[in-house]
Structure 1
Amino acid sequence: MKNKGLEYCGFYAFARPNLILLDPELIKAILSKDFQHFTDRGFYINEKVDPLSAQLLTLKGLQWKLRRNKISPTFTSGKVKMMFETLLNCTKELKVLMNDFAENHQVLDVKNILGRFTTDVIGSCGFGIECNSLRNPDSEFMKYGKKAFGEGTWDHLKNSVSLLSPKLFDIFKIPLNNPEVIKFYMNTVKETLRYREENNVVRKDFMHLMIQLKNNVKIENDDNLGELRSKESGNTMSLTDDQIAAEAFVFFFAGYDTSATTLSFCFYELASNVEIQENLRNEIKNVLAKYEGRLTYDAIMEMTYMDKCIRETLRKYPPVPAVVRTCTKRYKIPNANVVIEEGVTVYVPILGIHYDSEYYPNPNKFDPERFSSENKSERQYTWLPFGEGPRVCIGMRFAQMEVKVCLATLLQSYKFSVNPKTQIPIVFEPTSLLLAPKGRIWLNVEKFK
């Protein structure tokens, strides 16, 4: 359609009209400039039937705005920096496990190992719980994390129907999330909250910030080194235990698989492009030398080539291949005689845009220099792995820090190459909600002598 010079086109999913946006300026208008017409995502939400469904990702209108304003200060760069040491502690087991793979010449199922790492990170930083998934791949968090993403045909069918016709779930009072998953996360969060409040436990993590919000303590929206600074709030809307459980769940749901997938694809590209891998390793070593070999928050923020590599990975492999918005107020497309009616779903095809040769020449090539300081300014609304506008991913800073810590930890000590068991070129799994490879990515790992 874009080749025909169109800025948008439409299709029907059953009886539901959908509009696909093709023009970056129109995408900018709908995601940002005219956001008041497209405030909702149109996802399933029912707080009574499925309490985990009522969180930032799904909330609508005023409910979303109030919750976003309440929670946004917990994800400033300062608050993310506060969690750095907690995150860094999770790399200890990762290094132990990677040593075993290298010394025993075992082939690395990169998604499996990094999924266990991101589970430990989210468990520790999000719930304040040591999951030990790297040590024990059958940990409860891994078990229920997999269940949360769906394990069979019925789960895939429910996910598809929830996107096409979420009202059916309300009519039949069906929870989208697995009842076992709901029970596990609700109980885990409530037990954590009770223990911390009864024993006055303070920990530098997401759960502590949620407890402050529950107690109607306003978290300062600043970047002052992530200190646990707060003051009494005049806002009477505190968070309930159920709401905290829902936000902790989406912190896990949105952060576990997306970060593991991004890391898997990044290691695959680095293993496939030896020179790029070596350039990144040299940057890591040179920066760490300035910090006496210590991996710190300030050190990873200096790794600019790493940032380019991550951005290019997210360009080729955006975890969420499309962003959706529901029209909440009748909207006339600028400079056109087309009106988007209330209820129409609007799609931004992220994967398609990221592979558009108009914006990214030779799009199948992995080229971090696409995101040099000179080129980054050209990427506005054509690089959208976290979305854009007021509903941009709130956990973007945390996710990037997690990925950077993992890359810096492993690349300074290990070399990676692609094992022949890996299918090349990568083929995407068609039944997955998130972008995922069909089959596994297998890598060889070698420790520096």
Structure 2
Amino acid sequence: MKESKRKAKAVVVGGSIAGISCAHALIAAGWDVVVLEKTRSPPTSCATGAGLGLDPLSQKLIDSWIKQPHMLQLNTLPLTIDQNQAIDGGQKTSWVLARDENFNYRAAYWADLHSLLYKALPLGVVWWGHMFLSFSVSDDKTCVKAKSKVLQRGEIIDIVADLLIAADGCLSSICQTFFPDHKLRYSGYCAWRGVLDFSDNEKSETILGLKKAFPDLGRCLYFNIGSGTHIALYELLNKRINWICYVNQPEPVLKGNSVTMKVSSEMIEQMHESAEKIWLPELVKLIRETNQPFMNVIYDSEPLEQIVWDNVVLVGDAAHPTTPHGLRSTNMSILDAAVLGKCLEKQRVENTSIALQEYQSIRLPVTSKQVLFSRRLGCIKQGLVLPHHQPFDPITASEEDCEELQQRTMPFFFDIPSVLL
């Protein structure tokens, strides 16, 4: 009787979009997958939730995983225009710097996208309430053991697998075991952000004014550039406006394992007063009427020299923390997962290391350049000094300077890895 082929097994640390995407990609490749996530249940909402933009390749990959292509369309809005414009708050005027009408992204709310991906997984793949503690690789490098704490019972368990996938974010403990001296790099600015739900008040003065000032809301990603600051603005499904305002400031002191800061009512009022001096009245009203705005401290890191070791691999923000200006974080995570899945599908389980080396050779050069470009784009839009580059001034900027603001100038913007073709 012919011996059946053993099914390979992977443990994914982190149940955010990067980890859930890896589960989809590896299951499609024929692997068994367990996702360890310390939160105790699937998110039903996101207190610090925000919007994100999905590029055409990510849309295609998500469609292939959820098997219901119309669902992604129903849960997102089109972003067919990428527009950068200057705003003079003092004069209450604005003018277009660069406009791309062939953008072809879609706007998603984080919690909506996560729910869509999670519900498309088989039951039992994600182990909620399991806090990853540590891992060890066998002496012969054939397997890896992940140690996890079951939070409900306080029990410590071991999971033995062929592969450990670190999808545990920009503060990845797994990355730290390989690069103990590697630190995040503070960008020089923070992001105030929020989502205004106007479903119960579509005809308010604020919404009518906003849509008059930004007539392509609902299909346009607006970048509004002021003096030493900028705001990203776009609409989400179900009558919600997502905004992100970047503010140059010294690095704040973070508490705990998060780049999201708790903000006081005094901090919010200071932010409102600052907005009054810089932005158009329509933007100021949007900011003032948003409940529970929050602050993210913006970091990236110098590109890593490697992201695979024997049977351990980094994906998503664990592999390449990035600033948000190129809309790459979620898209890079989804593409990481898809490429990893295809590389593993081509190899037998005993050749996992070969698959991981191929994954690294495909993704590392791309993500490294995209991280550095996103950094540069953020500095330009924030009016920060760059080597061999004068601070960007929207009043004196040349046409070439303005073209550089567009998303499509991102390295590998149109690239599809051959392994996915």
TM-score higher than 0.5 here? Answer: no
TM-score, reference length from structure 1: 0.24
Q: Which has the higher strand share?
A: 2
Higher relative contact order (CA 8 A, sep 6+): 1
Q: Which has the higher helix share?
A: 1
TM-score, reference length from structure 2: 0.25
